[in-house]
Structure 1
Amino acid sequence: MNRDWLPIKTTPWTLGLILLALLLLIQLTALPQRLDYWLYDRAITANPVNASDNVVLVTIDEPSLNRLGRWPWPRSLHAELIDKLTRAGARTIVFDVLFAEPSADDDALAAQMRNHGNVILPVYLSPPTSQYLLSEQLPVSTLATAAAGLGHAHVELDSDGVARGLYLFNGLGNRLWPSLALAARGAGPESPAARNIPPYVNVRDEYRAVPLIGGAGSLPSYSFAQVLSQPPAPERFSGKTVFVGATAAGLGDILPTPFSGLSRPMSGVEFHANVFSAQSRGLLMRRAPEWVSAVLALAMVLMYSLALPPLRPARTLIACVSGAAALIGLYLFTLRVLGWWIPMANAMLVPLLAFPISSGLRLAMTNRFLNRQLDGLARSPQVALPAPSGRHPTQLLEHFIALFQPTGWLLTEERNVLSRQDLRPADIPEDLTPGLWLHDSNRSWIQLLRGGTRYHLGLALPNDLGREAIQRYLQRLHLEQTAPANRNSRHSENISARIERVRVATDRLNHMQQFIHRSFERMPDGIIVTDELGVIRFANGHIEEWFREPMPSLGGLPLVRLLEGHDPRETPPWHETVSDTLTLRQSRTVDLRIRDKDFLIHFAPFSLPDSNQQGIIANISDISELREQQRQHREAIDFISHDVRSPLVSQLALIEQLKRDPSHIEQSQLEQLSRLARRSYHLAEEFVQLARAEQLTETRFYECEFLAIVENARDSVSEQALEKQIQLQLQGTEDLWLRGNAELLERAVINLLTNAVQYSPGGSTVSIQVFQAGHQACLAIADEGSGIDPEELPFLFDRYRRQKSSELAGVHGTGLGLSFVKTVVEKHRGEISVLSSPGDGSTFTLKLPIADPLA
């Protein structure tokens, strides 16, 4: 389904409207209020306020009940308590005990209250029974007139049942009673601003939140019975306000607080004492009007609607977290410093909602973009080759014939022969497994199934060195058709179709990247790709090998610095070549030399499609072999123009001389002409033999016996050795079979023996040893000649290279013999070495691999 028409964009309007709608929906729940209560509780309990020094409790607790008897007590005990507190110097006595019914001891209690002069009694607002309306429960008139003031004892419970504050004034009709704490400070009843209020209507005014000093038992307290049983204690009560009330279970009211919850509730008298302590220190907190919270929330919605759309995702998170932190800081400042409790829940919900909403909008836009890109990727070409398993056996046979040139083949369909040459149906093996090749010597067979039809295909391959490689290659081919993969299994993985499309597209891109990377790596040339500043961004393995620079150090290295570090030059400088390629956008081709090897580097500018980015692709080709061939070509021209041309010119001159006087032909002239002709022949023969050796391939190899080759070479040189009375001693009786070209090997040994005889003095001995060392057949030829100078040894096997000492001694050579020997040995994957020193003769050692008779 195409969803491109959906107007999903991260704009101020869309983000702001969504935030506002969600805030309005959240108002239908208790979440904002609960969040406000939670924030207040954390702020109050994290840093409790200190208690006032002039507040103390006298509690009607369990020990007092045990000692003084069951409740209610005679009011004479309360009169005695007031007397003790008066003599102890208590400033104010506040009773959280309702004396609503007359008693015989009321006059005595009233007298003690008048004697003290500052006793506060409570007023309760509650219906007498559930069938009556709300009414004021006042102390009896005798006590009420004796009291210095009356105050209501009601504590406001929030919607979650926790006491966090109270109304300073509460009452019915036109009379509002101050709270006990406010009455203790001398406040009297007030009239509400509104008039004509029915007498049964509960009126409350001036709510204050109370910062408690801690949980139950945080204020200093003394048991009622303990105070009565001990003498007056001015050190405890002098100048203080004493709150008297019940804390025993079942007597007093219990109030859950932010410090305790329902686990350890606080008594009402202790709560009122906390109110008095906070009021005396000016710490009671006002609750801000509802419109403040609404205005703050709307301001946050407006701010985030304008700020978030242009921000990046990471900065969006930072902005939301910073906004929430700023609101918490503002909340704590107004609460603890200014004494205002501002409900922050709605404002704090804005950044909490803004981040997921803006992220969701971005994801929606990204989703639409990805859908378009995925559709484009699905239509893009992919690097895939048709599998050979999908081809008909007749096509396979046609391709095999064109590729491998078999000497014979056979293709049958069931019992019918479709094509054959030199193979018959009777040759088909019986134990063929469908899809698997069976190789029998140079014959390869396979059974294929196509659409329920059975085919047999056989090939008779050429019996040469490439047969085994072809059979290994055939073994790797997958020619049998396989059942399609069960795509229904993906549904059990609970992967959406979009994720599957992403996976397919990613696999396709990965395959393309791997194909490009492997293609670059397998190219015979070195490849360097730079950016528009000439900095290397990619290099294949040839660059790492040739420049001997590790791949991590190549990335980010300027191309100019790499080239200058390995081939410094002044004309033209590398920076000029690279900069011209980038600025003029023209290709350049320059020679490059690295560690005695010749290269050709081609600079080509490129530009990325649909982008202004550009760079250079540098293609580096190793032309050392080409340069070596050019050098050899020049040497060959020099050789032909001098060494071959010189004897021919001499022959022509001698022939012209003989033609002028044919009657006086001397024997010496004929011998000289014969020597010149033989020299020309030997030069041409060695030149041809060297060319044959350089063109030698393993296709011209066959099994041959090394000792026989050496014996034939010795017999060929025996006449030359006999002329100088040099003895050729051959040691070796073991047959050593090689795979090679016997003709060229024999010629190479002849060259070594010829040199040994030519450079050895008359009457000496040339030792020839043939032996096996490991998997190698070895030949060692040692002479007793003058040896070779050490400075000439490194160049001994170079073509057209002659020994200076030999030339001075009158032994003239072509400089091709030893080069021919080395070429033949290397073509046979062997090695040759020489050990020589002046005056001690020379020993040439030749090593060739032995053919495995089991192969």
Structure 2
Amino acid sequence: MDPMLIGVIAGLLGLSFGVFGVLAFRISEQQRRIVDVEFDEPALPPGAAEVLAVVGKAFVVVDAIDGVVRASPAAYAYGLVRGHTVVHRELLDMTANVRRDGVILEKQLELQRGPVGQGVIIVQVRAAMLGEEYILLLADDRTEITRTEEIRNDFVANVSHELKTPVGAISLLAEALESSADDEEAVRRFAARMHKESARLAALVQDIIELSRLQAANVAQEGHPVDINDVISEAVDRSQLPAESKNIQIVIGGRVDAKVYGDQDLLVTALRNLIDNAIRYSPENTRVGIGVRAKEGLIAISVTDQGEGLSAEDQERVFERFYRVDTARSRHTGGTGLGLSIVKHVISNHGGEVTLWSQPGQGSTFTLRLPEMEGQAPNAKEPKDAAGAHERGVTA
């Protein structure tokens, strides 16, 4: 064979092997990369996963592009994470600052609870680096604590304001008395005003003491069987004097044999506040009706008046502390604005509820519903509406 032909064939074979070798190398590299990508899952620093599992707070771990690597169930429940995405811009701003400055940040944020609605959650968030490429967000739900603090601060501010008014009035009236010592008619007039303001001050202080006692009471541990009929009798007896002063008749309808578990003094206080409220806002020469019945494991006590009634807006706020439907009239009648909030607090502590039916010009009916004591076989008598009203607030 021609030596030149042999050389050409050998060269072609060598070139072919070379091309196949290069192709095989490239295919091998691609396969290795694919294997690396498939098994290169995010790995937290050693021990981090174990610590996060017992930290007791909602947590989110994000990578360099804010993708969610790990998140606790609480983080999803709070609405901080959806899928593999951090929901709120405020949290992403914190991760960006930590990534840029390498510092630990802590903020209290008010965030939307979900994609729809007006619900919000208040969380204390701490953001810090976790290893070299991850950022950890720790979130503590402080919604209830914050709400309680706001209520307490508002209560203190309102009490200060409410106490200032009668105290200031008594001080001014005392000065007027001193300068009018020779005018008997003026002395009597100012003395009557002082008596009225001092009574109002005493009522406010008593209600504040009552609220403090309510917050310290533990009905679940210190309660006992209570006969609701006795509660009604005692509350009505305590309200007879203000009723007689306006010639208002208190009528009781119905009786129940079942008992409730709780604190009799607190229940008397709650019902007395409802009766006094009905008397205070009822015209003279009218009636206040009290109906009671037991049905489906609940004891319902209704207090119905023949007053002016309440608008829908007032009904939504009437159980708030210090809220008055008519401020000027409340001051005239001696209302403190705490009575209905005390009622709501007492009944809630007994596992019950208080509801309101009212329409302008048709009076109001407040209904207390309390659970019967377990293990009873109540034999309640059907009451009649003592005030001659509809079934509006009497049904359980």
Superposed, 1:65-464 pairs within 5 Å as: none
Return the match for 1:678 from 181, 199, 202. 199
Aligned mates of 1:539, 1:793 — CA distance in 2 = 43
Other-structure match for 2:133: 613
Aligned mates of 2:337, 2:70 — CA distance in 1 = 46
Task: After TM superposition, give the deviation of residue 845 of structure 1 in Å.
Answer: 1.0
1:514-573 CA distances to partner (integer Å, 9 max, x unpaired)?
x954x46xx3x4322222322223333333333297xxx43x21x2xx114xxxxxxxx6
Aligned mates of 2:238, 2:159 — CA distance in 1 = 27
Q: 1:811 to 1:587 in 2, by over 3 A?
A: farther
Aligned mates of 1:634, 1:782 — CA distance in 2 = 34
Contact 1:581 1:603 in 2 (8 A): no
TM-score (norm 1): 0.36
Aligned mates of 1:526, 1:769 — CA distance in 2 = 50
Q: 1:805 to 1:773 in 2, by over 3 A?
A: farther
Q: 1:746 to 1:806 in 2, by over 3 A?
A: farther
Structure with the bigger RCO (C-alpha within 8 Å, sep 6+) is 2
Percent of aligned pairs sharing the same letter: 21
Other-structure match for 2:216: 695
Other-structure match for 2:146: 627
Return the match for 2:65 from 530, 533, 544. 533
SS of equivalent residue, structure 2 residue 239: helix
SS of equivalent residue, structure 1 residue 792: helix
Other-structure match for 2:352: 830
Q: Which runs of 5+ in 2 are unaligned?
A: 1-16, 36-45, 113-117, 377-396
Task: After TM superposition, give the deviation of residue 671 of structure 1 in Å.
Answer: 2.1
Q: 1:548 to 1:772 in 2, by over 3 A?
A: farther
1:776-834 CA distances to partner (integer Å, 9 max, x unpaired)?
11111111110001111111111121113874894452221111111111111111110
Q: 1:783 to 1:806 in 2, by over 3 A?
A: farther
Task: After TM superposition, give the deviation of residue 836 of structure 1 in Å.
Answer: 0.6
Q: 1:707 to 1:526 in 2, by over 3 A?
A: farther
Aligned mates of 1:746, 1:624 — CA distance in 2 = 33
Q: What amino acid is the match of 1:833?
A: T
Other-structure match for 1:752: 274
Contact 2:61 2:134 in 1 (8 A): no
Other-structure match for 2:75: 543
Q: 1:706 to 1:533 in 2, by over 3 A?
A: same
Aligned mates of 2:127, 2:52 — CA distance in 1 = 18
Residue 602 in structure 1 maps to residue 120 in structure 2 = no
Contact 1:635 1:800 in 2 (8 A): no
Residue 817 in structure 1 maps to residue 305 in structure 2 = no
1:439-483 CA distances to partner (integer Å, 9 max, x unpaired)?
xxxxxxxxxxxxxxxxxxxxxxxxxxxxxxxxxxxxxxxxxxxxx
Contact 2:200 2:334 in 1 (8 A): no
SS of equivalent residue, structure 2 residue 78: helix
Q: 1:544 to 1:682 in 2, by over 3 A?
A: same
Task: After TM superposition, give the deviation of residue 837 of structure 1 in Å.
Answer: 0.8
Return the match for 1:767 from 289, 294, 306. 289
Contact 2:177 2:191 in 1 (8 A): no
Task: After TM superposition, give the deviation of residue 574 of structure 1 in Å.
Answer: 5.7
Aligned mates of 1:700, 1:764 — CA distance in 2 = 39
Q: What amino acid is the match of 2:274?
A: L
Return the match for 1:727 from 249, 253, 267. 249
Contact 1:834 1:844 in 2 (8 A): yes
Q: What amino acid is the match of 1:526?
A: A
Return the match for 1:581 from 95, 98, 102. 98
Q: 1:725 to 1:638 in 2, by over 3 A?
A: same
Contact 1:737 1:851 in 2 (8 A): yes
Q: 1:808 to 1:742 in 2, by over 3 A?
A: closer
Aligned mates of 1:659, 1:809 — CA distance in 2 = 25
Task: After TM superposition, give the deviation of residue 596 of structure 1 in Å.
Answer: 4.5
Aligned mates of 2:359, 2:77 — CA distance in 1 = 37
Residue 639 in structure 1 maps to residue 164 in structure 2 = no
Residue 656 in structure 1 maps to residue 183 in structure 2 = no
Return the match for 1:784 from 302, 306, 310. 306
Task: After TM superposition, give the deviation of residue 674 of structure 1 in Å.
Answer: 1.4
Q: What amino acid is the match of 1:546?
A: Y
Flag the structure with larger Rg.
1
Aligned mates of 1:818, 1:548 — CA distance in 2 = 38
SS of equivalent residue, structure 2 residue 299: strand
Aligned mates of 1:528, 1:800 — CA distance in 2 = 42
Contact 1:592 1:601 in 2 (8 A): no
Q: What amino acid is the match of 2:235?
A: A
Aligned mates of 1:796, 1:526 — CA distance in 2 = 37
Contact 2:52 2:59 in 1 (8 A): no
Let me know the Cα RMSD of the aligned residues: 3.6
Aligned mates of 2:130, 2:327 — CA distance in 1 = 62
Superposed, 1:701-712 pairs within 5 Å as: 701-712=223-234
Q: 1:671 to 1:812 in 2, by over 3 A?
A: closer
Name the count of aligned residue pairs. 340
Aligned mates of 2:267, 2:288 — CA distance in 1 = 19
Contact 2:228 2:256 in 1 (8 A): no
Q: 1:687 to 1:621 in 2, by over 3 A?
A: same
SS of equivalent residue, structure 2 residue 310: coil
Aligned mates of 1:849, 1:822 — CA distance in 2 = 15
Residue 563 in structure 1 maps to residue 62 in structure 2 = no
SS of equivalent residue, structure 2 residue 88: helix
Task: After TM superposition, give the deviation of residue 680 of structure 1 in Å.
Answer: 0.6
Deviating more after overlay: 752-761 vs 651-660:
651-660
Q: What amino acid is the match of 2:134?
A: Q
Q: What amino acid is the match of 1:648?
A: V
Aligned mates of 1:712, 1:829 — CA distance in 2 = 22
Q: What amino acid is the match of 1:653?
A: L
Contact 1:701 1:741 in 2 (8 A): yes
Aligned mates of 2:124, 2:232 — CA distance in 1 = 48
Aligned mates of 1:743, 1:541 — CA distance in 2 = 45
Task: After TM superposition, give the deviation of residue 759 of structure 1 in Å.
Answer: 0.9
Contact 2:324 2:330 in 1 (8 A): no
Aligned mates of 1:575, 1:529 — CA distance in 2 = 12
1:130-177 CA distances to partner (integer Å, 9 max, x unpaired)?
xxxxxxxxxxxxxxxxxxxxxxxxxxxxxxxxxxxxxxxxxxxxxxxx
Return the match for 1:841 from 363, 368, 371. 363
Q: What amino acid is the match of 1:670?
A: A
Q: What amino acid is the match of 1:771?
A: R
